[in-house]
Amino acid sequence: MHRRFLAAALVALLSLPALAQERSITIASTTSTEQSGLFGHLLPIFTRETGIAVRVVALGTGQALDVGRRGDADLVFVHDRPAEERFVAEGAGGPRLHVMFNDFVLIGPAADPAGIAGQRDTAEALRRIAAARAPFVSRGDRSGTHAAELRLWQQAGVDPVAGRGAWYREVGQGMGPALNTAAAQGAYILADRGTWLAFRNRQDLRIVVEGDARLFNQYGVMLVNPQRHLHVKVAEAQRFIDWIVAPAGQAAIAGYQINGEQLFFPNATVPEPVS
């Protein structure tokens, strides 16, 4: 009797804050959307309009999708289209909707040992980095940016893994820590523009390659499958999805700027091929 009371009191103590919040959803998303400050701009607007509080767990895209698979979030908002399509095909959630895009940029040290500054062809730039054996920091964490980087190496016809332990350095960390490492080592690195713009510890890093169509970075949103995970807050989460792809949410995305520069470009109206 006594023991049962204690156990009940413990559970109550642990779950107190969870009960105090009335209407809320949990989004598994990427570090780029959080660390660029986009969510800080977007979510208060959504909460003001709907009364639904939003909790964001910011992870790499691969990890965020896994959180969705386990049912630990109500929706996922990430940027690795092939991985997202696998997520939908597995029945882990969906349908997948376009939300917005921005682009990746290739960052490098001022000294530019591979001589690629101003280059518009990413594949050629990567080939020169490999040829010069210039230090390159890779996320190495199954994030959307990591997946995009690996696709770019493939398009360049270079296997960077051969340079592992020498010039190709996989740090297995988020965008910010990877940028910190690149800044300290004077290395090249692929980054999403949003995180780069908000990043403070640049030292002598700068953008060396941008504007290549291959650097396109699409973000998508998916509801976690409520049939598989019965606790998913379907109504509230669907409300968020409906809002973010509607004119109100799209305008809020377009309105987010750092130093007068727009970070993300809404494109929810671009129809998704039926899958």
The binding site for another protein (CB under 8 A) comprises 10-11, 13-18, 21, 26, 31, 34-35, 39-40, 55-58, 70-72, 173-177, 179-180, 183, 198-202, 229, 231
- Least distance to another protein from the beta carbon of 64, Å? 11
Q: What is the rounded radius of gyration, in angstroms, for the C-alpha atoms of the chain?
A: 21
Closer residue to another protein (CB): 155 or 201: 201
- Please tell me what DSSP assigns to residue 193: H
Closer residue to another protein (CB): 34 or 149: 34
Cα–Cα distance measured from residue 55 to residue 61, given in angstroms and rounded to the nearest whole number: 17
Cα–Cα distance measured from residue 108 to residue 120, given in angstroms and rounded to the nearest whole number: 14
- Least distance to another protein from the beta carbon of 269, Å? 30
Closer residue to another protein (CB): 217 or 225: 225
Closer residue to another protein (CB): 53 or 97: 53
- Least distance to another protein from the beta carbon of 54, Å? 9
According to DSSP, the β-strands at 188-192 and 136-138 are parallel
C-alpha distances out from residue 35 to 24, 41, 57, 176, 237, Å: 21, 11, 11, 8, 22
- Least distance to another protein from the beta carbon of 178, Å? 9
Closer residue to another protein (CB): 74 or 212: 74
To 5 degrees, how large is the angle CA 268–CA 192–CA 75?
45
Q: 88 in helix, strand or coil? A: helix
Cα–Cα distance measured from residue 40 to residue 37, given in angstroms and rounded to the nearest whole number: 5
- Least distance to another protein from the beta carbon of 120, Å? 27
